[in-house]
Copies of this chain bind each other. A is one copy, B any other.
Amino acid sequence: MKQRKKQPVLTRKAILAAAGVEFSRHGYSGSGLIPIVERAELTKGALFHHFQDKRALAAAWISEELAAAMQILWIGPLENISSLDSLRALCRTRCLEVRPGDATSTLVALAAETAAADAVLAAALESVFTAWRTAISGLIERGKSASWIHRSIQPATEAEFFVSLFSGFAVTTQCSPDEAARRNCATALEAYLETLRTH
């Protein structure tokens, strides 16, 4: 099969990837378009050919790249969990490896920065949050059916709580990124997870 010299889909992906790096490091307002296209080794012509404006670029990155990253980090693993111990292991890992610029932190940071003022970005971000929450509440329902999660636990409420909790970890860790804080979070988290257990 003959191949085009340049595949527009690759160009688009390159811009999205570069934009992701900038957004993760400097937030939405703090990211300029020139640093983005320079990082992608392209020009603004390419950028504005694929995206209507800066906001559309950010929205596309959120719903495509960021959502995919959250899928790998959270949704996929959560779907394969079938015991409270494995849930605790996953949470411990995710908690200890939270770092500025990773998918979870960026999701939270972008939400905190833009969601109140920009409905378009808020909608894109919200759908990522919703996918996350849905994975949690699904897991809780499976756990209740299999009797390794207490029957009094309400899936939707608990999912809301769980996502808020990790979002908070992402923020406070960003502010004081020492190992002790992360370990504190992990410890308190395990104590919380125990409250879900059948007793």
**Chain A residues with a Cβ under 8 A of chain B:** 25-27, 29-30, 100-101, 105, 108-109, 111-117, 122, 125-126, 129, 154, 156-158, 160-161, 163-172, 174-177, 181, 184-185, 187-189, 191-192, 195
Contacts and interface: CB of A to CB of B under 8 A. Distances in A.
A53 to B, nearest CB: 16
Top 10 nearest A-B pairs by Cβ distance? A168-B168, A164-B168, A161-B188, A100-B116, A29-B29, A167-B168, A109-B112, A29-B30, A112-B112, A160-B184
Given A27-B27, A129-B176, A157-B187, A171 B108 contact: yes
Contacts of A109: 112-113
Nearest to A24: B116
B30 A113 contact: yes
A160 B111 CA distance: 22
Q: How many copies does the complex hold?
A: 2
Contacts of A160: 172, 181, 184-185, 188
18 contacts: A26-B29, A27-B113, A112-B112, A112-B171, A116-B177, A157-B184, A157-B187, A161-B165, A161-B192, A164-B165, A164-B169, A164-B185, A167-B168, A167-B171, A167-B172, A168-B171, A192-B192, A195-B195
Contacts of A192: 161, 192, 195
A140 to B, nearest CB: 12
A170 B113 CA distance: 12
Given A30-B117, A115-B171, A129-B172, 9 more contacts: A27-B29, A109-B112, A129-B176, A154-B187, A161-B184, A164-B165, A164-B169, A165-B168, A167-B168
Contacts of A188: 157-158, 160-161
B129 A116 contact: no
